Structure 1
Amino acid sequence: MPDSDSGAGDREAQLDRAFLALADPVRRSLIARLSRGPATVNELADPFAMTKQGVSKHIQVLEAAGLITRTREGQRRPCHLDPAALEALTAWIDTYRLVAERQFRRLDAVLTTMQSDTQ
């Protein structure tokens, strides 16, 4: 019997790939650079003390995670950040941030009540 919630499973797998890709500092640096605009592999490789092939492998991981895309502009193949993918990550994080903030607000209210009761 097929899983009726396969969409949720797909989203979870996508989140896993994205967070795993972002666990590497080089890939986070590439994302930071691409947040300023598209760039080619050569442009992305410039600040790193590694081969273009090494940077290209990092780019492939980011692309497989759905965080970046590549287009063709004549001879150029620039990489582009996918803002929707980052929005999905921040939405997931925000869900749990909001839960934690509600818990802290409740704790603050309890502590305020306790403090006013002892005065």
Structure 2
Amino acid sequence: MSARIDRTLAALADPYRRRAVELLGQRPRSAGELAGELGLAAPAMSRHLRALKAGGLVEDSHPVFDARVRIYSLKDGATAELKQWLAETEALWTHQLAAFKAHVEGGGE
């Protein structure tokens, strides 16, 4: 497994961060909006957003009207490598379980 997948999984390990990703999947939001919807204090939300950025899942931008505000959004293609790994792992398990089933149903011959 690559270091990128490790970082992505580490970022998604927290339920608040997974919920933030779900919310950002609907539309970009400010940290304050996310904190309000998740019921978190601003410093806690900031830590979660830093972890999501470090995991390569989100990016931020400044709206033209106010450079002090950061708007967070999901990063395009951020989960592509994770999705590929999951698909390969699923295929491996499907094959292994089918072989095990055939072995058990065949009487172990």
Q: Describe how 1:81-100 pairs up with structure 2 within 5 A.
A: 81-100=74-93
Question: Which of structures 1 and 2 has the larger relative contact order (alpha carbons within 8 angstroms, sep 6+)?
Answer: 2
| Alignment match, 1:3 | none
The answer to which of 58-67 and 104-113 deviates more is 104-113
| Alignment match, 2:40 | 50
SS of aligned partner of 2:63: coil
Match for residue 72 of structure 2 among 76, 79, 98: 79
Greater strand fraction, Structure 1 or Structure 2: 2
Match for residue 25 of structure 1 among 3, 15, 18: 15
The answer to which of 66-75 and 76-85 deviates more is 76-85
TM-score normalised by structure 2 residue count: 0.83
The letter for the 1-side match of 2:92 is V
| Alignment match, 1:65 | 55
TM-score normalised by structure 1 residue count: 0.76
Please give the per-residue CA displacement for 1:46-82, whole angstroms capped at 9, x wherever unaligned.
Answer: 1233211210111011001101111122224211112
Please give the per-residue CA displacement for 1:83-119, whole angstroms capped at 9, x wherever unaligned.
Answer: 41222212112211110001122233344544xxxxx
- Alignment coverage as a number of residue pairs: 106
The letter for the 2-side match of 1:15 is I
Give me the whole-angstrom Cα distance separating, in 2, the residues matched to 1:21 and 1:85: 12
* Backbone CA RMSD of aligned residues: 2.1
Within the alignment, does 1:103 sit opposite 2:96 as a pair? yes
Give me the whole-angstrom Cα distance separating, in 2, the residues matched to 1:24 and 1:35: 17
Structure 2 unaligned blocks of 5 or more: none
| Runs of 4+ deviating beyond 6 Å | none
Structure with larger Rg: 1
The answer to which of 94-103 and 42-51 deviates more is 42-51
Identity %: 27
The letter for the 1-side match of 2:10 is L
